[in-house]
Amino acid sequence: MYIFKFADIGEGIHEGKVSDILVKEGDSVKDGTDLFSVETDKITTEVSSPVNGVISKILIKVGDTIHVGDPIFEIDDSNGSSSSAAPAQAPEVKSEPVVVKEEKTEQVQEGGASVVGEVKVSNNVLPLFGSNTLNVSASVEPTKTRNDDVLASPVARVLAKNNNVDIALISGTGPEGRVTKEDVEKYLSSSNQTTTTQTISTASESVTVAPTVTVTKTVVQSSPATAVTNAIVANKVESTAIATIVEGDKILEMTSMRKAIANAMKRSWSNAAYTNLSVEIDVTDVWEQRNKIKDYILETENVKLNLLPFIIKAIAKTLKQFPIFNAINDDANGTLILRNEVNIGIAVDTKDGLIVPNIKNADKLSIIEIAKSIADIAARARTKKITMADLQKGTFSVSNYGSLGIEFGVPVINYPEVAIAGLGTASNKIKKVGIQMVERKVMVLTIAADHRWVDGGDIARFANQVKQYLENIAFLFV
C-alpha cells in the first residue's frame, strides 16, 4: 500500500486548503493522474498521483487544511511494495498566482498623540492588541516578538504579526509542533474572551472593537518628554467592522485567488508613487500588414495573428533602449534591479480572476513566436495549467483591456515591477494626413510607472519610442 503524503510544492508553501477531490475510492489511477486541487497563499494547483494503482482510501475532504507530510491518499499500487512513504516529489504545478500578502497599519495621528489600529478584512472581528477594550494616551510600544526560531507556517506568521501576537506564545498542533493558521486563530479567539486593559495616563482614549471601532479622543497627559500641551478637540472616528445583514443578502467569501489580487493591488498602491501618460498611436500600417498575412500564418503556423504580438515586439525593443523600465524594486535594500532579460507579463482574464504569466526573452522572439507564446500562456492560464515558472521573473507587464472594447484606461503596476502598459482598442477615426481627411486605425497606449524611479519625461520618451516602432513597422524587423 502506498501512502501518498502532501509534498512541498515549492516557493515556501507548506500548507493548503483542499478545494476539490477529483477521484473516488476504487478508482484506478496512473502516475500523473490528477487526484485533488489545493489552494495556497500563492497558487491553486491540481496535484497528481506519483504511482499507478487503485485509490484504496481518501484521507481528506473538501475544505480541509493540509500540511506538508500529511497523509492524503492510500493507493494500492501494482507492486504493493510500501506500507508507508515519504512525501512524494512535488508535481508540476498548475497554478493561479497569488501575490504575497502584505497589510499595513494605519495611524490616526494628531497633536503628537496617536492611536494605532489595523483595518483587516476577515470573517471575525479581531481585537486590537488582543483585547476587547484598550485605554491608551500615548503611543504604545509594539510587542517584541521572538519568533525566528519558532516552527510555523508562513500564513501563521503573517496572521500573528498582523495581530501583534508573539508567535512563540502559541502552541503548535502541526507536524513537529508547527504553528498553523488554525492555531493562531484559536489563540486570538481565546484572547478575545478575556478583557485586557492597559492604562498609561490620567485621561484616556477608548478604543472599542466589535461590531464597530470607536475612537474618542480627550486631553492626554503623559510624561514631560511626550507631554501634549494643547487640548485635543473631542473627535469621534467610527469605522464599521461588521456590516448589517438583512434578508435576501448573500455572503461572498474571497477565494485564494481574489485575496491574492486584492493584496497585490494594495501592495502596488501602497509602495509605488503612481504617474502615467498616454499617447495616441496610428496603427493603420500594422493593421494592414497583419491583414495581409494572417490567413497564411493561421494555415502554416496554426496561430491567430492580431495586433498584440506587434505591440509586444515594439515594447520589448523599447525596453532594451530604456532599461530603467525593465526593472523591479528591491524594497529590502531600497534599490532597483535592472533586469537583463526582457520577460513581458500578459494579463489574462480568467473566470476566477486575473493571472499574469510572462513571455520569456520577448526581445529575442519574432512576431510569430510572440503570437504563439501569447496563445500558449492564455490557453494554459484558462485551464489552470500555468506553472510557477510562467509567473516568475517578470520584468514588465501589459494589460490589454482593448480586447474588451475599452479605448482608454490606467493599469495598475504589477509590483515590484516599475511600469506597465495599458492597451486601448484600435478604432477607426478620421485624421488629417497631409491635406486630406482620411480614416485611420488608432489606439491609445498608456504607460503607468513608479515616479520614485522615472519622471514624466522618461515615460513620454518611452511611449513615443513604442509609437515610432508601430507607426514605422519596418523598424520592428531591424
**Confidence (pLDDT) at 477:** 84
**Residue 408: inside a domain, yes or no?**
yes
Helix (H, G, I), strand (E, B) or coil at 370: helix
**Residue 64: inside a domain, yes or no?**
yes
**Confidence (pLDDT) at 104:** 42
- Given the C-alpha cell 522615472, which residue does it identify? 454
Give pLDDT tens digits for 114-148: 333 333 333 333 333 333 333 333 343 444 444 55
Beta strands, E only, 221-341: 235-240, 274-282, 327-330, 335-338
Residues 34, 53: contact at Cβ < 8 Å?
no
Residues annotated as part of the active site: 451
Give pLDDT tens digits for 308-328: 999 999 999 999 999 999 999
84-93, 117-126, 179-188, 365-374: lowest mean pLDDT where? 117-126
Where is pLDDT greater, at 161 or 407? 407
Please tell me the distance from the alpha carbon of residue 248 to that of residue 303, in angstroms, as a whole number.
Answer: 47
- Given the C-alpha cell 517584541, which residue does it identify? 144
Residues 208, 125: contact at Cβ < 8 Å?
no
Counted domains in the chain: 2
Where residue 161 falls among pLDDT bands split at 50, 70, 90?
confident
Percent of the chain with pLDDT over 70: 71
The arithmetic mean of pLDDT across residues 194-223, rounded, is 42
38-42, 69-73, 394-398: lowest mean pLDDT where? 38-42
Where residue 8 falls among pLDDT bands split at 50, 70, 90?
low
Instruction: Give the residue numbers spanning the domain of 425.
Output: 273-476
Buried b (16+ CB within 10 A) or exposed e, 253-263: eebbbebbbeb
Residues 183, 174: contact at Cβ < 8 Å?
yes
Percent of the chain with pLDDT over 90: 44
**Residue 354: inside a domain, yes or no?**
yes
Residue 63 sits in a domain whose CATH number is 2.40.50.100
**Residue 90: inside a domain, yes or no?**
no
Out of 76, 98, 128, a domain closes at 76
- Given the C-alpha cell 520577448, which residue does it identify? 362
- Check pLDDT > 90 for residue 43: no
Residues 323, 465: contact at Cβ < 8 Å?
no
**Residue 281: inside a domain, yes or no?**
yes
Rounded to the nearest integer, the mean pLDDT of the chain is 77
Where is pLDDT greater, at 48 or 295? 295
Length of the chain as a residue count? 478
- Check pLDDT > 90 for residue 338: yes
**Confidence (pLDDT) at 297:** 94
287-301, 397-411, 424-438: lowest mean pLDDT where? 424-438
Residues 54, 76: contact at Cβ < 8 Å?
yes
Out of 46, 76, 106, a domain closes at 76
Write the CB contacts of 16 (distance below 8 Å, at least 6 apart in sequence).
6, 9, 38, 39, 40, 65, 66
Cis previous bond, 224, omega within 30: no
Q: In DSSP terms, which residues pair with 437 in a beta bridge? A: 432
Out of 49, 76, 103, a domain closes at 76
**Confidence (pLDDT) at 10:** 53
**Residue 204: inside a domain, yes or no?**
no
CA torsion, ordered 328, 331, 336, 340, to nearest 10 deg: -40
Residue 401 sits in a domain whose CATH number is 3.30.559.10
**Confidence (pLDDT) at 12:** 53
- Check pLDDT > 70 for residue 28: yes
**Confidence (pLDDT) at 192:** 62
What does pTM read for this prediction? Answer: 0.58
42-56, 399-413, 415-429: lowest mean pLDDT where? 42-56
The arithmetic mean of pLDDT across residues 279-288, rounded, is 96
Please tell me the distance from the alpha carbon of residue 383 to that of residue 360, in angstroms, as a whole number.
Answer: 20
Query: If residue 284 lies in a helix (H) or strand (E), which one and from where to where?
Result: helix 284-301
**Residue 17: inside a domain, yes or no?**
yes
- How large is the greatest C-alpha to C-alpha distance in the chain, in angstroms? 85
Radius of gyration of the chain (CA): 27
